[in-house]
C-alpha cells in the first residue's frame, strides 16, 4: 500500500507523532500529512496510515494508536507509543531507504530502538519521568517547546508549528542513525587494527573514530592507548575502563600534565610532542613518530607503576 495520507491528531503535538512522521514522510514523500480528529479521517482506509489517534492498533488496517485499553506492549511489558509502533513496522524500510547496507539493518534497527525510540515511548506513556536540571532538555521536552504559545490564536498556528518541529525532529533522527551506522563501519576498521597490533599495547588507527566498543567487543584488554592522525597533528588517547565515568585503563604520565611544546618535549624527551591535557587522558604531537613514541613511553610508565 502506498498511502495518500498520513493521519495524526490535530491540536498540540508530542515527540511520538512528530518522530513517527519523520519515518513515514521519508518512506511516503508523496503522502500529505493530515492533522485531524474528525471521524472521517481517523477511521481506517486503503489510502491512509493513521498514527497516535484512531483508538486501535491494527497494522494490517494501517492504524497505530496506543491510547486505548489493551494498548500494545513490548515483549518485556514496556509500553509502546506511536513512534515505537511505527518504528517496529517501518523502521527497517526506513533504514533501507536511508542507504544502510543490508548487513547493518538489523543491528542499527535494534540499537536505535533501544537508545532513541524506547525512551520516547516511555516518556510519552508516563513510564519515564526525567527529573533534575536536565529534565527540560530531553528531546521530547525540547520538541514540545516548539508548540505555539497559548495566546497565538491563528487558525494554522498548531499546524505551522508542527511542520517546523518536524524538520527539527528529522535532523535528530537522521543524525542518530548516521552515527549508529558510522559506529558499525568504525568497528570493522578497529577490529582489523587490533589484529594488526597483536599483543602491542598501542592501537594505531587511520583516523579519529569511535573505538572503545570495538575494543571491548574484541576482548582486547591489553590495549592502553590509541594513536591516530587529526587535521594537522597526531593524537594519543587513553581508553576508558567503563561506559560510565572517566577512569582510564592507564593515564598519561603525571609529569606531562598541562605542558605544551618545548616544556612537554623536555619533560618526555620526544621531539614533536606538542600538548598534554591536564587531565592526562589525551596528548598531541606534530608527527606520527612522535605520537607513537609518547604512547610507548606512557605504556612503559603504566607498567612500571603497576597500572597495566
Q: What tens digit of pLDDT does each residue of 39-82 get?
A: 999 999 999 999 999 999 999 999 999 999 999 999 999 999 99
Of the three residues 149, 182, 215, the one that is the final residue of a domain is: 182
Task: Please tell me the number of Cα atoms within 13 Å of 149 on its side-chain side.
Answer: 2
Domain assignment present for 189:
no
pLDDT at 243: 84
Domain match, 144 and 230 both:
no
Distances 93 to 71, 103, 133, 197, 291 between C-alpha atoms, Å: 24, 13, 37, 38, 44
Question: Quick one: which of 62, 57, 52 has its CA closest to 27?
Answer: 62
Q: What tens digit of pLDDT does each residue of 245-284 get?
A: 889 999 999 999 999 999 999 999 999 999 999 999 999 9
Whole-prediction pTM value? 0.85
CB distance 204 to 219 below 8 Å = no
Domain assignment present for 41:
yes
Q: What tens digit of pLDDT does each residue of 123-150 get?
A: 999 999 888 999 999 999 999 999 999 9
Domain assignment present for 44:
yes
Domain match, 219 and 80 both:
no
DSSP, residue by residue, 180-218: HHHHHHHHHHHHHHHHHHTT-SEEE-SS----HHHHHHH
Domain match, 39 and 162 both:
yes
Contacts of 19 (CB under 8 A, 6+ apart): 83, 117, 120, 169, 173
CB distance 292 to 202 below 8 Å = yes
Domain match, 56 and 163 both:
yes
Of the three residues 125, 154, 182, the one that is the final residue of a domain is: 182
The yes-or-no verdict on residue 1 having pLDDT over 80 is no
Of the three residues 182, 207, 237, the one that is the final residue of a domain is: 182
Domain match, 42 and 132 both:
yes
Question: Quick one: which of 23, 65, 306, 6 has its CA closest to 176?
Answer: 23
pLDDT at 305: 86
Q: How many domains does the structure of the chain reveal? A: 2
Domain assignment present for 208:
yes
Residue 79's DSSP bridge partners are 73
CB distance 121 to 76 below 8 Å = no
Domain match, 171 and 214 both:
no
Domain match, 173 and 209 both:
no
Domain match, 153 and 89 both:
yes
Domain match, 177 and 237 both:
no
Domain assignment present for 192:
no
Domain match, 234 and 116 both:
no
The yes-or-no verdict on residue 308 having pLDDT over 90 is no
pLDDT at 178: 96
Domain assignment present for 193:
no
Domain match, 173 and 62 both:
yes
Domain assignment present for 191:
no
Q: What tens digit of pLDDT does each residue of 216-226 get?
A: 999 999 999 99
Domain match, 109 and 16 both:
yes
CB distance 98 to 132 below 8 Å = no
CB distance 242 to 289 below 8 Å = no
The yes-or-no verdict on residue 161 having pLDDT over 90 is yes
- Indicate the Cα dihedral angle 172, 177, 179, 182, nearest 10°: -160
**What region, left, alpha or beta, does residue 99 occupy, with left being phi > 0 and alpha being psi -120 to 50 degrees?**
left
Domain assignment present for 64:
yes
Residues shown for the chain: 308
Domain, as residue range, for 275: 198-304
Q: Which residue has the cell 594513536?
A: 227
Amino acid at each position: 500500500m502506498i498511502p495518500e495520507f498520513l493521519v495524526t491528531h490535530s491540536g498540540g503535538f508530542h515527540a511520538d507523532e512528530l518522530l513517527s512522521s519523520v519515518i513515514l514522510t521519508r518512506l511516503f514523500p508523496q503522502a500529505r500529512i493530515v492533522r485531524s480528529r474528525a471521524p472521517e479521517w481517523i477511521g481506517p482506509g486503503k489510502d491512509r496510515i493513521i498514527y497516535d489517534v484512531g483508538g486501535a492498533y491494527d497494522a494490517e488496517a494501517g492504524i497505530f494508536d496506543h491510547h486505548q485499553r489493551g494498548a500494545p506492549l513490548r515483549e518485556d511489558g514496556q509500553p509502546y507509543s506511536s513512534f515505537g509502533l511505527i518504528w517496529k513496522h517501518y523502521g527497517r524500510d526506513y533504514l533501507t531507504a536511508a542507504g544502510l547496507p543490508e548487513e547493518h539493518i538489523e543491528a542499527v534497527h535494534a540499537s536505535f530502538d533501544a537508545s532513541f525510540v524506547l525512551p520516547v515511548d516511555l516518556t510519552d506513556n508516563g513510564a519515564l519521568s526525567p527529573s533534575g536540571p536536565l529534565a527540560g532538555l530531553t528531546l521530547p521536552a525540547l520538541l514540545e517547546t516548539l508548540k505555539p504559545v497559548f495566546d497565538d490564536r491563528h487558525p494554522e498556528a498548531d499546524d505551522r508549528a508542527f511542520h517546523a518541529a518536524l524538520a527539527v525532529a528529522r535532523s535528530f533522527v537522521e543524525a542518530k542513525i548516521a552515527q549508529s551506522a558510522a559506529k558499525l563501519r568504525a568497528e570493522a576498521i578497529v577490529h582489523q587494527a587490533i589484529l594488526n597490533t597483536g599483543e602491542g599495547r598501542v592501537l594505531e588507527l587511520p583516523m579519529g573514530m569511535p573505538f572503545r566498543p570495538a575494543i571491548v567487543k574484541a576482548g582486547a584488554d591489553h590495549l592502553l592507548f590509541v594513536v591516530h592522525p587529526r587535521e594537522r597533528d597526531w593524537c594519543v588517547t587513553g581508553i576508558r575502563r567503563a561506559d560510565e565515568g572517566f577512569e582510564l585503563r592507564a593515564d598519561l604520565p603525571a609529569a606531562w600534565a598541562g605542558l605544551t611544546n618545548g616544556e612537554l618535549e623536555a619533560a618526555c624527551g620526544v621531539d614533536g610532542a606538542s600538548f598534554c591535557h591536564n587531565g592526562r587522558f589525551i596528548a598531541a604531537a606534530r608527527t606520527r613518530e612522535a605520537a607513537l613514541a609518547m604512547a610507548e613511553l606512557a605504556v612503559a610508565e603504566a607498567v612500571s607503576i603497576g597500572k597495566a
